[in-house]
Every structure is written in C-alpha cells, then in structure tokens.
Structure 1
Amino acid sequence: MTTQRQAVLGLLAQHEDQIVSEWLQEAGASSGRLTDAARRAMAVEASDVLRTLRTAPQADADPEQFQAAPWTPLRQVLEALSRSRAAQGQSAGDTSQFVLAFKRPLFTTVQRTVADPQSQLAAVWAMSTLVDKMAQWTVSTYQQTREDIIKRQQQDLLELSTPVIKLWDGVLAVPMIGTLDSSRTQVVMETLLQRIVDTGATLAIIDITGVPTVDTLVAQHLLKTVSAIRLMGAECVISGIRPQIAQTIVHLGIDLEGIASKASLADALELALRQRGYTITRTV
C-alpha cells in the first residue's frame, strides 16, 4: 500500500491545480450563497491542505496511524482550518464535509491516471482512509476549540457579573447576583483582593441582595471570602440579608459572629462612612 500512496502523492503534485478546482466545486464553492471572500478562503484552505499532504508525509506514513509524527504538519494545517471555521461560527459538520469533498477529485485523478484496476483500488482505499482520518481530526479539533471558546466566555461572564465598585474613598462593594458556586466565589475573591491592593481600601461590602438562596455551601463561600479580606488587613460587611435568608442562616446553624451585616447596601454604606468619621446630614 505504501507504493500506491507514493504514486498518488506524485499525482497530487502533477495535477494540483485541477484537483483544487474540482475539490472546490465539489465543496460548493461556486454556490451563490458564498461571498467572494469565502470562496477565496476555501481556495486557500484547499491549497494549503493539498500542498502539505503531498510534501509532509514520509514514505512509510500509515493513514491508520494519523496521530503519528509523520502526519504532524498535516494535522497542524487541519487544526488551523478547523479553529478558523469554529471562530467564524461554522459547524463541525460543514468543516468535515469540506474535507470529505476532497475524495471525489482524488478518486477521479486516480481513475484518469492509473490503468491497472487492482492498483486503482489499492490507491483509492489508501486515500479514502486518509481523508476519513483528516475529517475526523477536524471534528475533534472543532469540538475542542468550541469548548475553549465556551470556557473563555464563561470566565468573561463571571468577571462581568462580579464587578468591584468603589463607593467611597477606601470603601469597595461587590454586588452579587445569582447563584454562588465555588468557581464564581473564587473569581470574586481574586478580583476583590486585587482591588483592595490596588486602591488601598480598608472596607469591602459584599451585597447579596440578588442571591436567591443561602445554604451551607453559599455561607461557606462567603466566610472564606471574608477571611481572605481580613488577611489583607481590611474589614468586611455583608449587606442584603433579607428576612427569609436570615431565618435560613439561623435554621442551618451558620455562625456569622464577628461579621457585620446590614439589611441593605445603603445601610452598609452608612455604617462604613460612620466608621470613618463621616456624618450624613440633610441640608434641606
């Protein structure tokens, strides 16, 4: 089978332009739905894959061992193709279909140039196996890329959903909205501690008005955050404790002794200002 692969690789070099043209036609590059830029991008992708395919593999490279070292350059080209399409919002199916469209021009080239039927069959089988592996690799890379994008977006959303606000000189506030979990609490803690260092704040208000429920796990997360704040030399006030949450905390036996708490963010800010010697008076 190695002889057939070498023969086909030689045909790729001789008929590269024709194969690329037939590949693009098979992949639907002539469709009126595609823009000129999309057609040019597909042509570049096809040319890169074909050029790498005919130059990268060693003579003993086995398509069944597609993750082996000889196929590394081709895998890298396919990974770049898949990541680019994933970033553009194209589906894994569209990407794999584009690679699988490579089969017809390959088979057509073999039929035109290889006379012996047995050699034709061996060459077609070898290249069919390779193209299938290539398509599978693009799907795997696409899935990994999408997972990375989703994780990055989740991290961005976490950071956006936990802003640290400067309410007054030396006073920071973190309005919490939604359910607290370990990953989100970690983001809150890291962001808040960094802002304490950056601003020299001495008091942080954690407002849980937007937290729907408080259970043992949520309370533990809050206590850890308070402990970390104190280790940085600052104090902490928890605000937004509604009557239902207060009853839940009591029933669960959660000890918040030593932690200042207020019913609202306004009350917490008033406490913070009073501790710093400010007096709030009505002018009218």
Structure 2
Amino acid sequence: MSTTRLPELLKKSKPQILEEWLRQQLASSGARADLIKDGELRKQSESFLDQLQRSVQSGESADIKTAAWAPTLELLGDLTRQRERMGFSPSETATFIFSLKEPLLLQVRTNLKGEPEAVIDESMGISSLLDKLGLYTTEVYQASREEVIRRQQEELLELSTPVVKMWDGIVALPLIGTLDSARTSVVMESLLQRIVETGSEIAIIDITGVPTVDTLVAQHLLKTVAAARLMGADCIISGIRPQIAQTMVHLAIDLSAVTTKATMAEALKSALLRTGHRVVKEGGAKA
C-alpha cells in the first residue's frame, strides 16, 4: 500500500522523528553503547532519514526494488555490513529499522488527527515499508556472514595444503584431513604452481594425515598425480598405512601406476635416488 503522505510527514516533522527514533534506539534491548557511540548513531540515523525522504518522494514507497530506492538500499546495506563487522547480531542490526516505526506512526497520529481512515492507511503503509527494509538488513547481514565464512574456508584450505620444497627438484605436499572435490582443486592448483616455481621433477604427496581413503579419495589423488605428470613431474604417494592398504585392496583401487611408500622418509629417500643423490649416514656408510 502506498504511503503517499509520508514525504509530507518527513518534511514537516523530521527533527521530531529523529529525536524520538534516537530515544527508541538507545532504550531498546538491542542498543550497543559498547560498539557504537551516540554521536555516530545520530549521524547514521540522520543520513538514513535524509535518504529515506528522497526515496519516498518518488511515490514508489510500496516497492523498494525500484530504481528510486537503490541509494537507500545501498546506504542500508553499508550500515548493515559495518554493524556485522562491529559485532552486532542480526536482530540488533534490524532494530535500527524497526525502531523507526513507532516515531513515524506517532507523527501519523499527530498530523492526521481527525482523519481515521488516513491514519489507518498511512500506518499500514509505513509498517509494510519498514518491514521490507528490516528484512533487507537481515538478508544483507546473512550474505555478509556467508561471504566471511566462504573466505575463511578458502584460507583454511590454502593453509591446510602447504607445498614444501624438500630438495632441489623435489617438493612435498603433506595432506591432513578429508580430501573432497573442493579441496582437490586447491591441492592441485597449489601443487602445480609450486612445481612450476621450483622446476621440480618429483612431487611427494603424503597422506599420513588423511583419516580414510575410499574410492572417491583415490580418484582425487589420481587426478592430482595425472595433473602433475602433465607438468613434467612424477609423483610418489607416501603415508600408506596398513589399514589404508587393506582398504585399497578391498575396494580394488588400482595405484599400480603410482609409486607408493609407507612413510615420508622412504618417499624422500626414493626421490633423492631418482634425482641422482645418494643418502648416506654420517661417516660414509650407505643408508
């Protein structure tokens, strides 16, 4: 329902609306004096009221998806993301909008006294408008949180897939945790990039920290091995524990085309021999 007289009310009573709105915000259960100062709260409230007035003057107060509302939604989105980063909860963030309802309705009753039908129409329109704006803050807040989580997951994946240069021509990739499709992509990209940077001929993929190896995990490993071969590097898979070996045999997983070793130490020794190095104990005895 269109609140056709809202622009007039905002123009006439904006100072009173602002003061009552600030009072409502500071008195609400969602007030966070520890996160935002009164001066900053006033500044944000004034900016939003000014932008709200410009949007409702377009006459499209019933539909916030129109172009006239784009600046208001942009401002509200910025305020929401800022509060999310500051530590406000979703309900505390939405209170910024919902606490504006009572000050506006108070001015409707005051300025439209003697027009009961107009009071009802304007009140319903204002409630609907602020409900939409409040819901918008919740959507923006949720999207912001999901973006943070997604970014953290990507960072964790990168941290959990370090490619280490073990020797000239040899790199190692110790894997810890479950190897799924998303992580395989990161693993492959990190390994191939490191192979190019170091000019390595051999890559050791250590799965000691991988809890289980099933058909899917084995396929991911074989994809990584194949990608490394295309870059001119051979792969050695180490960390094949007895229980993993039994599982692979039971699942008929064929790793015959890949060199496997029980430990990282054995894999490194094999890699050194392949690159023309001899591993000897101190004193000259061959290891």
For normalisation by structure 2, the TM-score amounts to 0.91
The one-letter amino acid of 1:99's match is I
Counterpart amino acid of 2:209? G
Answer whether contact 2:202 2:235 (CA < 8 A) is retained.
Answer: yes
What is the number of equivalent residue pairs in this alignment?
281
Alignment of 1:1-284 (within 5 A): 2=2, 5-28=3-26, 34-35=33-34, 37-63=36-62, 65-115=63-113, 116-284=115-283
- Summarize deviations over 1:26-70 as a string: whole Å, max 9, x none: 11269996148433332232222211110124533042x222333
Question: For structure 1, which segment, 28-37 or 121-130, has the greater mean C-alpha deviation from structure 2 after superposition?
Answer: 28-37
Taking the aligned partners of 1:191 and 1:39, their CA distance within structure 2 comes to 48
Matches of 1:39 and 1:251, distance apart in 2: 67
Kept in 2, the 8 Å contact 1:27–1:98? The answer is yes
Structure 1 residue 227: Cα displacement: 0.1
Native 8 Å contact 1:24 1:30 kept in 2: no
Amino acid at match of 1:85: R
Q: Normalised by the size of structure 1, how large is the TM-score? A: 0.92
Please give the alpha-carbon distance, in whole angstroms, between the structure 2 residues aligned to 1:140 and 1:190: 33
Separation (CA, whole Å) in 2 of partners of 1:276 and 1:25: 75
Q: Deviation per CA, 1:217-253: give whole Å up to 9, x if none.
A: 0000000000000000111110000011111111111
1: CA distance, partners of 2:185 / 2:32: 46
Report the Cα distance in structure 2 between the residues aligned to 1:39 and 1:178, rounded to whole angstroms. Answer: 47
> RMSD of the TM alignment (CA)?
2.0
In the alignment, is the contact (CA less than 8 A) between 2:238 and 2:261 conserved in 1? Answer: yes
Residue 237 of structure 2 aligns to a residue in which SS? strand
Give the secondary structure class of the aligned counterpart of 2:281: coil
After superposition, give the CA deviation of every residue in 1:168-195 in whole Å (9 maximum; x if it has no partner).
1121111111111100111100111111
**Structure 1: gaps (5+ residues):** none
Q: Secondary structure at the match of 2:174?
A: strand
Aligned residues with identical type, % of pairs: 47
Residues 259 and 37 of structure 1: CA distance in aligned 2, closer, same or farther (over 3 Å): same
Q: Which amino acid aligns with 2:55?
A: A
- Distance (whole Å) between structure 1 residues aligned to residue 15 and residue 281 of structure 2: 82
Secondary structure of 1:56 counterpart: helix
